[in-house]
Structure 1
Amino acid sequence: MDLPAYAVFLLIVAFGTWVQTTTGFALGLIVVGTTALFDLMPIPKVAMVMSLLGLANALAALRGRTREVRWDVSLLCSAGLIPGLVFGVWLLGELHDDAPRLLKLLLGAFLFLAGGTMMFRPRTHQSASAGWTYTAVGGFAGVLGGLFSAPGPAIVMHLYMQPITVRAIQATLYSIFAVTSFARTCTVGWRGELTAEIGALALISMPVVLACTVLTQRYPLQLNDAQLRRAVFALLAIVGLTLMLG
């Protein structure tokens, strides 16, 4: 990557971090999707960078909020998420080597569908779902996290259906994202694919993630939530369709 490409990547990271901190997810979706669209770097590389950046973002967002985390929910989701993630990382390697066009097609479809979930506010259940549902959703999210470092949509939808306060949901999501990012980093490192270049790019990008997270929390923009979700959906839909048709 040359200097202009690095600058574009950092701008994408800053925007994705702002959206993630404001809405609760979409950092991985925006960064991986947009980077793949502009061919700034291979999908496995940007997904690994996002694992490291996602860990920094989650830990920064959890600062002072650990008491709000529903640890029972986090553990149930993680029980399915980790094995699903290992499979997703393996599948990413296979598709990148043998079927790169199919990989981009899957990424495009995922972005389009995931963006659509931001358009809907799921109806809250009167009672909590059975424990196994969290593990099942975690397993599905783990596969997506392994593939694209973006486990959020399925877990976000499921948690917002539960009779839990919004702040507790947000804190719990960040705890799950921290587990995802850490587990994915360990898995990729075990496979010998965690290179010095990936580490350097993550280090360059990390101050942007931390600064945007803290600034967004401290000085939130007064935006209409529905309009913001529509705008993000439109962006993800355009990126997704372009990847599928390109």
Structure 2
Amino acid sequence: MNLDPVLVGAIVTALVAGATRGFSGFGGALIFVPLVSAAYGPKISAPTLLVIDTALTLPFVVQAFRACVWKQVAPIAIGAFAGVPAGVFILKHTDPLVLRWALAGLSLSMLAPLILGWRHKGQHRLPSKLAIGTFAGVLGGAAQMSGPPVIAYWLGGGQPSALVRANLFAFFALATIASGVAYAAGGMLTLDVGRLALLLGPAYAAGLFLGGRAFRGATDSHFRLAAYWIIVVAVVLSLPVLDPLFGR
């Protein structure tokens, strides 16, 4: 039996994305959506990740709800709810190639300062939390990539990796509700999405398990370096200019 190389690549991507998500609490979408979009398009890959991630991260979410700081999570989640509809509109009406370039550029521009050691100081005020949440919601609706602005905000404040990870799992659980409602209302939860979720779900689940195990022995510095560089490599490999190298 001949294996479909495109599907094999998507399965490997799901495994790596799940491992990154399980380890750091974020990054799964930054890996999954650009690379799977190259094969199946953003309108399939983003809803597919929503279905897979929602179903498989419930054990992580239960733990995160107990460990997170709700006064940090709730305002950003509220902002995300407000921003998701605009993101879904962008997803439905933007050229896929343009969207891929834009998401890659945004991801790298927000992560680069953190990789170089930037940290923000000062109080976490409500207006800034709501604004960051709204921006995250737009990116989440467009491609299930709400992580970069929230990651930059929390990790940029120098908080412990365990707290950031718990906050991220709690935030993504809430933000996913808004994305799920918007995708369903827009008719984007199709049979094709369901079939791809069934094919890629087991690999994503295996990655979540492996990533969760790896986090238990990780230091804060290991947490940051591993998550940042995996995401950078994934974004670079997903750039449309490299499509000919991968037969995309």
- Quickly name the TM-score band, shorter chain normalised: 0.7 to 0.9
CA distance in 1 between counterparts of 2:206 and 2:62 reads: 13
Question: Do residues 178 (structure 1) and 173 (structure 2) align?
Answer: yes
SS at match of 2:189: coil
Distance 2:104 2:160 in 1: 32
Per-residue deviation, 1:114? 4.5
Q: Which amino acid in the other structure matches residue 20 of structure 1?
A: R
Give the drift of 1:239: 2.9
The answer for the alignment partner of 1:217 in structure 2 is 212
| Equivalent residues of 2:81, 2:137 under 8 A apart | yes
Post-superposition offset of 1:74? 1.7
Structure 2 length normalisation: TM-score? 0.82
Contact residue 81 and residue 175 of structure 2 kept, 8 A:
yes
Corresponding residue number in structure 2 for 1:75: 74
Aligned counterpart, 2:112: 116
CA distance 1:107–1:145, shift in 2 (3 Å): same
> Which letter maps to 1:7?
V
Query: C-alpha distance in 1, partners of 2:151/2:99?
Result: 24
Q: Could you tell me how far apart the structure 1 residues matched to 2:51 and 2:118 are?
A: 30
Aligned partners of 1:241 and 1:92: how far apart in 2? 17
> Is residue 107 of structure 1 aligned with residue 103 of structure 2?
yes
Could you give the per-residue CA deviations for residues 185-226 of structure 1, whole angstroms, max 9, x where no partner exists? 111111122112212222332232233212322245769736
Query: Counterpart in 2 of 1:26?
Result: 27
Say whether 1:139 aligns with 2:134.
Answer: yes
The whole-number CA distance in structure 1 between the counterparts of 2:214 and 2:103 is 33
| Gapped regions of structure 2 (runs ≥ 5) | none
- State the alpha-carbon separation in 2 of the partners of residues 124 and 165 from structure 1: 14
Counterpart for residue 58 of structure 2: 59
**TM-score (norm. length: structure 1):** 0.83
1:71 to 1:219, Cα distance in 2 relative to 1, 3 A: same
Does the 8 Å contact 1:115/1:237 carry over to 2?
A: no
Farther-moved stretch of structure 1 (227-236 vs 170-179): 227-236
CA contact (8 A) 2:114 2:156 kept: no
In 2: Cα distance, 1:66 partner to 1:128 partner:
23
Matched, 1:87 2:82: no
| Closer, same or farther: CA 238–80 of 1 in aligned 2, 3 Å | same
Compare 85-94 and 15-24 and name the one that shifted more: 15-24
Letter in 2 for 1:175: A
Cα pair distance change 1:101/1:65, threshold 3 Å = closer
> 1:12-23 counterparts in 2 under 5 A?
12-23=13-24
Report the counterpart of residue 199 of structure 1 in structure 2. Answer: 194
Gaps of 5+ in 1: none
* SS of residue in 2 equivalent to 1:46: helix
- Give the CA deviation at 1:173: 0.7
Partner in structure 2 of residue 130 of structure 1: 125
For the Cα contact (< 8 Å) 2:119–2:158, is it kept in 1?
no
- Are residue 187 (structure 1) and residue 182 (structure 2) matched? yes
Q: Deviations over 1:109-143 (max 9, x none)?
A: 23432452552444263x64112211110001111
Is the 8 Å Cα contact of residues 54 and 181 (structure 1) preserved in structure 2?
A: no
Cα pair distance change 1:219/1:75, threshold 3 Å: closer
CA distance in 1, matches of 2:52, 2:114: 22
Question: Secondary structure at 2:239's aligned position in 1?
Answer: helix
Alpha-carbon distance between aligned partners in 1 of 2:200 and 2:101, rounded to the nearest angstrom: 27
Q: Percent identity of the aligned residues?
A: 20
**Distance change >3 Å, CA 63–CA 117, structure 1 → 2:** farther
Given the superposition, is the C-alpha separation of residues 219 and 80 from structure 1 closer, same or farther in structure 2, using an over 3 Å criterion?
closer
In the alignment, residue 137 of structure 2 is paired with which amino acid? G
Partner amino acid, structure 2, of 1:94: H
